[in-house]
Amino acid sequence: MNWTEELPESCPPKEAFEPDDKVVYRLSASGQSIEDEYQSQRSICPKCTFKNVTECLTRSLSVYDDLAKCQQLQKLPRFKDRWNAILELKLNSNDGMIQQTFKNNHFSWWRTTEFDLTSAKVV
């Protein structure tokens, strides 16, 4: 797979799987599915390190498979009044690999270059 960014060894982890028409949601500030909306922690903050967050996770994107849980995020100070849109994505094996992490409904997505930005729709 051609990943959008360089991944460390054993990343994605063996627990990750190829999605099959998996519908997930991601916040958007611009209201459009553009490259800026798909930036991982590592691409935003090259030096950030948090306890219990592996280098592999920092190179993934967070998505939710529950719209209401994603909408909840818009109440947080970092997102409120700015990240007003939500993108709906239907992920398949070409788009990368995903793993359920942290909480139910939250997935980490390691994205491939094959992911088609125009396939996302604003909900």
Partner 1 sequence: MKIRLDIEQILLYYDFPEIFTAKDAVDTKYLCLLTEIKNNEPSYISTPISNKRLSNFINGKEDLRNIFLKPESSRFFEFKAMEEDIIATEYLKETLPENLLPSEGFILRDQIKDEQEIIQESIEYKNAIVHLAVSDEKDNYSIEADDLGDILKLYQVMLENIFKKEVINRKVKDKKSTIIPQNYTLRAFDSSYSSFNVHLYSKSQTDLFGNAIVEIGLEKLNKILSDITSEDSHIELLQSVKGHSVSTLKKLVRKIIENNLKVKHKWYAPNQEKVHYQVIDFTRANKLYDLLNSKNDLSEETKEFFGHLVQVDVEKGTWRIHNLEDEKEYSGESTGDKLQGVTVETINYKIICTEQIEIMRVSEKEKTKYILKSIEQEGNAT
Interface positions with partner 1 (CB under 8 A): 27, 39-41, 44-54, 57, 61-62, 72-78, 80, 101-104, 106
Shortest distance (Å) from residue 96 CB to partner 1:
15
CA atoms within 13 A on the CB side of 18: 8
Q: What are phi and psi of 120, to 5 degrees?
A: -80, 145
Closer to partner 1 by Cβ: residue 19 or 64: 64
Shortest distance (Å) from residue 32 CB to partner 1:
18
Q: CA Rg, the chain, in Å?
A: 14
Q: Are 76 and 89 within 8 A, CB to CB?
A: no
Shortest distance (Å) from residue 21 CB to partner 1:
23
